[in-house]
Amino acid sequence: MTLDDAAPEPLDETPPALGVDALLDDPGTRIVVCCGSGGVGKTTTAAALGLRAAERGRKVVVLTIDPARRLAQSMGIDELDNTPRRVPDIKGEGELHAMMLDMKRTFDEIVEAHADGERAAAILNNPFYQSLSAGFAGTQEYMAMEKLGQLRSREEWDLIVVDTPPSRSALDFLDAPKRLGSFLDGRLIRVLMAPAKVGGRAGMKFLNAGMSMMTGALGKLLGGQLLRDVQTFVAAMDTMFGGFRTRADATYRLLQAPGTAFLVVAAPERDALREAAYFVERLAAEDMPLAGLVLNRVHTSGAAQLSARRALAAAENLSEAGIVDLEDGKADRGDTGSGANSPAEQAGSDDPVPAAGATGTATEDQGSPAEGPSVDEITAGLLRLHAERMELLAREQHTRDRFAALHPEVAVTEVAALPGDVHDLDGLRTIGERLAASGAEEAAP
C-alpha cells in the first residue's frame, strides 16, 4: 500500500444505490434479515432499521440474537428477553418492539406447545435435552429460525427485522432446516429410536444385523446410559419432529418469498468485504432475495482536495522550521502510541513527532500561550491526522472497488463512521438517517 497522491476518484461503475426508505416503506416487505460477519455493526444496523421503519409508520419487531446490553439500553429496555417488548418514545404512529432470542426458552416453549403434559415433562427433564437446549453451537440457528417463523405466523407485526447469529458462518442459519431435514429423513434416527420404541427381544427381529452392530457401537462410544438418554429423548421428541421439520421448511420458504429482503452488512475492510462477497454468492445460490449491501463505518473527509502526500510534506516543512528555532523542550509529548507502523513514519520522515517548543511563522501575531504547543506544531499535527485519514479513505475505496467489480449488481448504502458507539434512540436515529441517505439522493429528481 503506498500513499495515494490524489483523492480517490469516483468509480465509473458506481454501484446502484440501495433505497432503504423505499424498502422499509413498502408494505410488501415483511421480513428484513441482516447478515454479515462479526463486528461490522449488524445488530446496531438491525435496530436502526427497525426504529426508522417504526417512525415511518410501520409496526415493527426487531429480533436480535446476541445484542450488547448497551444496545438494549439504547432502546430504553433494561433487559431484552424472549418476549417482544414495546420500545417507548417512538415518534409517529408506528410501533417498535424488540426482543432477544433465548434459545432454551424458545426450545422449551416448542416442547410445551407440541407435547402433552407428561411427555413434555419427560423431554424437559431429559439430561440430553437440557444440554442440547442450553445452546451448544448450532442450537441458536435452529431456534432463530423457529422464532422467526413464530413471529411471522402471529401476524401481529407488519415488519420483522432479524439479526443473524454470530456463528462460524452466519449462513448456518440457512442450513438449519436442511440439516434437520436430512437428519429426520436419515436412517440414524430410526436406529436411535428403534430400541426404545420396540424394546425387548421381540423388537430385535426388526433390526437387521447392521443396525444392531450400530447400536452396539454407539453404546460403546457413548456409554450405555447416555445412549439410553438420547434414545429416550428421540422417542419422546418423535411426535414433535415432524412439526419441527414442517415449520423449518416453511420458514426456509418464507425467506425465499418476495416479502423477504436480505441485507448483507459489512465494513469497508478486506476481511469483512470478503465475507460479504461470500454471503452474496450464497444467497444467490439459495434463491434468497438480496436487497443490497450496507457498508458501515465509511470515512469521509471535508478536505479531500489535499492528498496524503502533500499533507505530510507540508507537515514536515513546518516541523523542520520548528527544529531550526528550537528553544527549549518544555512541551512534554507523552508518546504512548506504538508508532512503529504509523504512516507518518513510513512516509520517510526521520522525526515524525514535531520537535518540542517549535515556533514558527504564525505564532507571534496570535499570542500563542507560553505553555503548550505552538500553532505550527498544531498545524503539523492536523496535517498528519489528515494524511492518516486520506490513507484510510484510499484503502476503503480500494476494497469497495474490488467488491463492486466482482458484484456490480449489488445495491449499496454507505453509513458514515461515527466516532463513538450508540447509546440512545437518537444515536440509532442518526444511523437510520445515514442508512437512508444514499438511496434518497438517488431517488431525488
Partner 1 sequence: MSRFQVVSGKGGTGKTTVAAALALALATAGKRTLLVEVEGRQGIAQLFETAPLPYEERKIAVAPGGGEVFALAIDPELALLDYLQMFYKLGGAGRALRKLGAIDFATTIAPGLRDVLLTGKTCEAVRRKDKAGRYAYDHVVMDAPPTGRITRFLGVNEEVAGLAKVGPIHHQAQAVMRTLKSRDTAVHLVSLLEEMPVQETVDGITELRAAKLPVGRVMVNMVRPEVLDEAALRRVRETPPRAALAKSLSAAGLGGARRGGGAERLVTPLLEQAGEYAERFALESGQREVLAGLDLPLHELPFLAGGLDLAGLYRLAKILRKQGVA
Q: Footprint of partner 1 on residues 356-385 (CB under 8 A)?
A: 360-363, 365-366, 368-369, 371-373, 375-379, 381-385
Q: Please tell me the distance from the alpha carbon of residue 240 to that of residue 408, in angstroms, as a whole number.
A: 45
Per CB under 8 A, the list member of 27, 117, 258, 302 interacting with partner 1 is: 302
Asked if residues 269 and 399 have their Cβ atoms less than 8 Å apart, the reply is: yes
# of chain residues touching partner 1 (CB under 8 A) = 100
* Strand residue runs (E) in 299-420: 412-416
**Backbone dihedral region of 140: left (phi > 0), alpha (psi from -120 to 50 degrees) or beta?**
alpha
Minimum CB separation of residue 230 from partner 1 in Å reads 9
**Residues 136-165, mask of contacts with partner 1 (x by CB under 8 A):** xxxx--------------------------
Q: Which is nearer to partner 1, 29 or 43 (CB)?
A: 43
Residue entry with cell 431484552: 80
Which one among 22, 207, 254, 331 touches partner 1, defined by CB under 8 A?
331
Scan for cell 447469529, then name that residue.
Answer: 165
State which residue, 223 or 329, has the beta carbon closest to partner 1. Answer: 223
**Of the candidate residues 121, 240, 250, 306, the single one contacting partner 1 (CB under 8 A):** 306
C-alpha closest to that of 176 among 131, 151, 128, 143: 143
Return the CA Rg of the chain: 29
DSSP state of 171: T
Question: Which set of grid coordinates corresponds to residue 91?
Answer: 415518534
User: Residue 439 Cβ, how far from partner 1 at the closest point, in Å?
Assistant: 25
Q: Is 389 in the site for partner 1 (CB under 8 A)?
A: yes
Contact segment (CB under 8 A) with partner 1 among 51-59, 112-120, 132-140, 150-158 equals: 132-140
**Ranges within 339-358 binding partner 1 (CB under 8 A):** 339-344, 346
Q: Which of residues 168-227 bind partner 1 (CB under 8 A)?
A: 168-169, 175, 179-180, 182-183, 186-188, 191, 210, 213-214, 217-218, 220-226
Q: Which is nearer to partner 1, 165 or 439 (CB)?
A: 165
Residue 249 cell numbers, joined: 421448511
Grid coordinates given for 151: 413471529
Residues 294 and 52 sit within 8 Å (Cβ to Cβ): no
Interaction with partner 1 in 394-423: which residues (CB under 8 A)? 395, 419-421
CB nearer to partner 1: pick between 260 and 296 = 296
Q: Which helix (H) or strand (E) holds 290?
A: strand 290-298
Find the shortest distance in angstroms from Cβ 162 to partner 1: 18
| Using rule CB under 8 A, residue 247 touches partner 1 | no
Q: Which of residues 14-73 bind partner 1 (CB under 8 A)?
A: 37-40, 66, 68-70
User: Cα-Cα-Cα-Cα dihedral of 17, 20, 22, 23, to 10°?
Assistant: 110
Scan residues 66-95 and list those touching partner 1 (CB under 8 A).
66, 68-70
Nearest distance from C-beta of residue 411 to partner 1, angstroms: 24
**C-alpha pair distances (Å), 397 with each of 20, 273, 292:** 22, 12, 18
DSSP string over 363-382: TGGGT--SSS--HHHHHHHH
Distance CA 328, CA 443 (A): 59
Cell of 368: 500563542
Residue 58 DSSP class: -
Minimal distance, residue 405 CB to partner 1, in Å: 18
Least Å distance, CB 51 to partner 1, is 18
Among residues 23 and 62, whose Cβ is nearest to partner 1?
62
Closest approach of Cβ 204 to partner 1, in Å?
Answer: 18
Distance set, CA 69 to CA 54, 78, 97, 414 (Å): 21, 8, 16, 26
Site for partner 1 in 309-328 (CB under 8 A): 310, 313-315, 317-318, 321
Nearest to partner 1 of 286, 442 (CB atom): 286
| CA 30 centroid distance within chain | 20
Q: Is 229 in the site for partner 1 (CB under 8 A)?
A: yes
- Tell me the closest approach of the beta carbon of residue 220 to partner 1, in angstroms: 7
Long-range contacts (CB closer than 8 Å, 24 or more residues apart) made by 133-139? 133/103, 133/104, 133/107, 133/108, 134/103, 134/104, 135/103, 135/104, 137/167, 137/168, 138/172, 139/103, 139/107
Which residue, 29 or 139, has its beta carbon nearer to partner 1? 139
